[in-house]
Amino acid sequence: MSFGGQTPTVVVLKEGTDTSQGRGQILSNIDACLAIQDTLKPTLGPFGSDVLIVNEGKTTISNDGATILKLLDVIHPAAKILVDVSRAQDAEVGDGTTSVTLLAAEFLKEARQFVEEGMSSNVIIKGYRSACRLACAQVKELQIELKRKQADGTTDDPEFRELLKKCAKTAMSSKLIQVNSDFFADMVVDAVQCLDPNDLDETLIGIKKVSGGSMEESRLVKGVAFKKTFSYAGFEQQPKEFTNPKILCLNVELELKAEKDNAEVRISKVNEYQAIVDAEWKLILQKLEAILATGADIVLSKLPIGDLATQYFADRGIFCAGRVPAEDMERTIAAVGGNIQSTVSDIKPENLGQCGSFEEVQIGSERFNVFADCPKAKTCTLILRGGAEQVIAEIERSLHDAIMIVKRAIQNNHIVAGGGAIEMELSKYLRDLSRQIAGKQQLIVAAYAKALEVIPRQLCDNAGLDGTELINKLRSLHSQGETWYGLDFAHESVANNLDTFVWEPALTKINALQSATEAAALVLGVDETIKNEPNHNTIGSQPVPPPGGRGRGLPQGMPSMQ
């Protein structure tokens, strides 16, 4: 139906809604993702620079892709997809967070020309997914299995340990701790091998940070270490060192409470008040005697241990610590055995834990309680040292990446050569394959192959090398069948990175390719953005009445007071 020859305007979305759609919207989203790529490009590889981010007065210095993106507070909806992909890579594999973001943005950059020429984004997405499947299949074809068993069938193979160290050193090559990578690689492999081999739960690796000192003053405790807890008078009289102590872990408060805080008692004689006080003393002394009877040398509790109990234990040569954080208590149980008791009655010998040695030591300006040589140790603690808090925080992030890489190498013991070698090999493989494909898909697979070269090219740029010359040299070598040739920064040339031990778990590369391809497909699949602007005519959740309108709470017909 028409009205006077004019079609009426239909308003579906509320006023102020911003709608953008079509090819221009896809190109706009690609540009936003490329802006993220420009931020992260300089941080890639052994010669990548760090980024200093000041967020609400807190300074962070890092070259970890996931950390940088998390702190950038990205608001563009398409660019946020890259942030999510980076976080997913960090959670799943631990390393490769910068690589996955650069690859996703580069796939979009290569797709841009097809979008501008009017090609359907669905055709591009189909081609990219097909190329990703082929690339992942080729990684699985090329990957090399690390031998992890000796001839007698045992798994504590020193050769396998060396291979894990090489994977850890590769993960650290782009980090602040690169110079000390030998020292930290040993520490990381020892830490992961402390865990239960069936689940390798990295949360059981505790990390404590102590400012001051050099990086190499960091230490690994095969057991548990935590900062000295809040203590009362009498604490210093307690022994600070034990050999083969029995350890009792409690969730019991050992403290006298003021009567007025806990109860109301009406009394008529003074001696009745004394009887109440004596009863409370009798209760706590019964608890302490029950603990003494267990034969425990060390008493730990999640709840406070007051001055009376502290002095009682000191007089009897027992060490105690109250208000132990829950996380530290759980790791202590995992290391020494036993279990947490919520009452002091009927404690059996099997409820107590044991370790080889206990001591309270001074580390920097902090005092630590250290439980070492634990027979049941399925946990460990890294005590990190460094000149500044920002440095120690970056060491922690670097070690997290290395720990995750070693964990993945143990669980999935297949590796590929790093330093751009696997990317160049996949690029050559897909480029050759694309020539056998008919139609538009040939162009898309070739574009995917070209995008993979962003990793070695950016590694060259960050190291100040001639990227064009080295990439051409690598292309030539890979076309001759030299599968594992990649960049060699020590000699500013190319080398067989399998022989030079620049190794990465194959799982890292497969996960990065799949995540980056899915992110690119997601961005290319969005051709309309609808943004609802907040209604500025609101205070809280109640709309403000318009001028001259009916005021809230006014009877109908009464003029509003505007």
- Reported as a single tens digit per residue, the pLDDT across 56-106 is 878 888 878 888 888 888 888 888 888 888 888 887 777 778 889 999 999
**What domain count does the chain have?**
3
Q: Is the pLDDT of residue 52 over 60?
A: yes
Tokens (6 digits) for 508: 């890292």
- % of residues, the chain, pLDDT over 90: 21
Domain identity same for 228 and 259: yes
Distance between CA 249 and CA 125 in Å, rounded? 57
What's the CATH number where 263 sits?
Answer: 3.50.7.10
Domain identity same for 296 and 196: no
Q: Is the pLDDT of residue 311 over 50?
A: yes
Give pLDDT, residue 274.
74
pLDDT category at 550 given cuts 50, 70, 90 is very low
Which 3 state secondary structure label does DSSP give 540? coil
Give pLDDT, residue 562.
38
Tokens (6 digits) for 303: 């709840």
What's the CATH number where 389 sits?
Answer: 3.30.260.10
Give yes or no for a contact between 395 and 176, defined as CB atoms under 8 angstroms apart: yes
Tokens (6 digits) for 509: 């590369």
**Cβ atoms within 10 A of the Cβ of 123, count?**
16
Domain identity same for 23 and 112: yes
CA 377 to chain centre: 23
Domain identity same for 23 and 139: yes
Q: Which residues contact 132 (CB under 8 A, 6 or more apart)?
A: 448, 513, 514, 517
Antiparallel, parallel or unpaired: β 144-145 and 414-417: antiparallel
- Reported as a single tens digit per residue, the pLDDT across 379-425 is 888 999 888 888 888 888 888 888 888 888 888 888 888 888 999 99
Tokens (6 digits) for 253: 């408060």
Give pLDDT, residue 319.
92
Domain identity same for 212 and 230: no
Q: Is the dihedral of CA 267, 270, 272, 273 positive or negative?
A: positive
Domain identity same for 390 and 507: no
CA 54 to chain centre: 20
Give pLDDT, residue 553.
44
- Reported as a single tens digit per residue, the pLDDT across 280-296 is 788 888 888 998 988 89
Distance between CA 415 and CA 411 in Å, rounded? 12
Domain identity same for 235 and 217: no
Alpha-helical segments (H) within 143-294: 158-172, 181-194, 259-262, 270-293
Largest interatomic CA distance in the chain = 104
Domain identity same for 266 and 307: yes
Tokens (6 digits) for 373: 């040589």
Beta partners for residue 361, in sequence order:
368
Mean pLDDT of 527-553: 52
Domain identity same for 390 and 479: no
Distance between CA 331 and CA 195 in Å, rounded? 11
Nearest to 418 by CA among 170, 180, 176: 170
* Residue-averaged pLDDT of the chain: 82
Distance between CA 225 and CA 382 in Å, rounded? 8
Q: Is the pLDDT of residue 152 over 60?
A: no
Give yes or no for a contact between 488 and 501, defined as CB atoms under 8 angstroms apart: no
Mean pLDDT of 476-488: 90
Domain identity same for 469 and 394: no
